[in-house]
């Protein structure tokens, strides 16, 4: 049994490093904005700045895609959008189920950005019988008992978990047994999954804690005296 991605290799089967894969959505977001403004080409420096990535890293990342740009012209925006989308598997429609339709699950269901990025919400599932049949974002909430048949009928391979932490492992086990092989987990708990199942975790409170750490450091720097590196007020 593997926990999360810990036993996964650092590179994917076609030799693209995982860190590059993680940056592809950033490039795609920046390129999509350029495409919407009908910008035909972009330099590596401009695109790197728009994606918040170092330009040498960007050129290296694109070399894995076999995309080198044209000297003095840059990269063809539309072709790169296609190439990255194809690499990420976004040129096909991925059916997704969301489990736990409370505050967060309903907000995710209402997010319009999935469809335009290659994801289709196939079903919304919840254990609360009082929610069954209620329309959220135009879809009826289905009871969790229907999970297995919904996953099979819609060939769902991606599940989004927005249940309380205490229910997340049980929901994961059911999703995996039904055939789901990728899980996006919003519940604040570590999930155990078999090899071959990918888990990505989203935790806004962790991101905020990291920002709090940096805020604290910045405040500490402000308190340092101007010609020394000893803080005027020692942290507790
Ligand atoms: N990752 C983040 O940044 C982030 C942000 C907000 C909330 N959360 C987490 O997301 C989860 C949901 O938060 P919320 O505010 O929407 O909670 P909520 O209480 O509003 O909703 C939870 C829903 O899950 C359902 N549920 C409970 N057990 C279930 C089961 N076994 N199968 C299916 N559905 C089940 C409940 O009926 C309820 O509708 C929590 O774990 C919370 O900590 C994470």
- Residue 3 pLDDT > 70, yes or no? no
Same fold, 10-86 and 94-205: no
Instruction: Give Cα separations from 119 to 85, 90, 158, 207 (angstroms).
Output: 12, 8, 9, 25
CATH 3.20.20.70 assigned to domain 94-205? The reply is: no
CB 100, CB 131: distance < 8 Å: no
Residues 6 or more apart in contact with residue 170 via CB below 8 angstroms: none
For a substitution probing ligand 1, which of 97, 101, 102, 185 has the most ligand atoms within 8 Å of its CB? 102
pLDDT confidence of residue 14:
62
Task: Tell me which of 232 and 59 has the higher pLDDT.
Answer: 59
**Average pLDDT over the chain, rounded to whole?**
88
139 is in an annotated binding site: no
Task: Tell me which of 68 and 229 has the higher pLDDT.
Answer: 68
CA of 172 to the centre of ligand 1 (A): 13
Winning range, highest mean pLDDT, from 55-69, 77-91, 148-162: 148-162
Task: Tell me which of 1 and 184 has the higher pLDDT.
Answer: 184
CA of 197 to the centre of ligand 1 (A): 22
Tokens 């135009």 correspond to 138
CB 121, CB 151: distance < 8 Å: no
Instruction: Give the count of alpha carbons within 13 A of 228, CB side only.
Output: 6
CA of 85 to the centre of ligand 1 (A): 30
ipTM entry? 0.98
Residue 183 φ then ψ, to 5°: -130, 130
pLDDT confidence of residue 227:
56
Overall average pLDDT of the 223-233 stretch: 53
Overall average pLDDT of the 170-188 stretch: 97
Choice among 86-95, 124-133, 181-190 with the minimum mean pLDDT: 86-95
pTM of the model: 0.78
pLDDT class of 69 with cuts at 50, 70, 90: confident
Residue 124 φ then ψ, to 5°: -115, 130
Strand partners, 97: 123, 159
Residue 124 Cβ < 6 Å to ligand 1: no
CB 185, CB 161: distance < 8 Å: yes
- Taking the domain 10-86, which CATH number applies? 1.10.10.10
154 is in an annotated binding site: no
Per domain, the residue ranges of the chain are 10-86, 94-205
Task: Tell me which of 231 and 109 has the higher pLDDT.
Answer: 109
- Residue 153 pLDDT > 90, yes or no? yes
Residue 194 Cβ < 6 Å to ligand 1: no
- Answer left, alpha or beta for residue 100, where phi above 0 means left and psi between -120 and 50 means alpha: left
User: What is the length of the chain?
Assistant: 236
Ligand 1: nearest atom to the Cα of 107:
16
């Amino acid at each position: 049994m593997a926990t999360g991605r810990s036993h996964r290799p650092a590179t994917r089967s076609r030799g693209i490093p995982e860190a590059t894969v993680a940056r592809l959505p950033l490039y795609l977001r920046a390129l999509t904005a350029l495409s919407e403004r009908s910008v035909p080409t972009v330099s590596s420096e401009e695109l790197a700045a728009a994606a918040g990535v170092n330009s040498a890293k960007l050129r290296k990342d694109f070399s894995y895609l076999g995309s080198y740009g044209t000297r003095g012209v840059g990269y063809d925006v539309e072709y790169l959008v296609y190439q990255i989308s194809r690499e990420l598997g976004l040129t096909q429609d991925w059916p997704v189920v969301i489990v736990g339709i409370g505050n967060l699950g309903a907000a995710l269901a209402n997010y319009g950005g999935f469809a335009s990025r290659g994801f289709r919400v196939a079903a919304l599932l919840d254990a609360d019988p009082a929610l069954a049949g209620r329309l959220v974002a135009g879809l009826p909430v289905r009871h969790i008992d229907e999970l297995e048949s919904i996953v099979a009928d819609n060939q769902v391979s991606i599940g989004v978990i927005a249940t309380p932490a205490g229910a997340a492992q049980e929901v994961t086990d059911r999703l995996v047994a039904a055939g789901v092989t990728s899980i996006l987990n919003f519940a604040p708990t570590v999930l155990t999954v078999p090899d071959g199942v990918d888990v990505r975790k989203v935790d806004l409170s962790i991101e905020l804690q990291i920002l709090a750490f940096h805020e604290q450091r910045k405040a500490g720097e402000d308190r340092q005296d101007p010609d020394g590196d000893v803080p005027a007020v020692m942290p507790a």
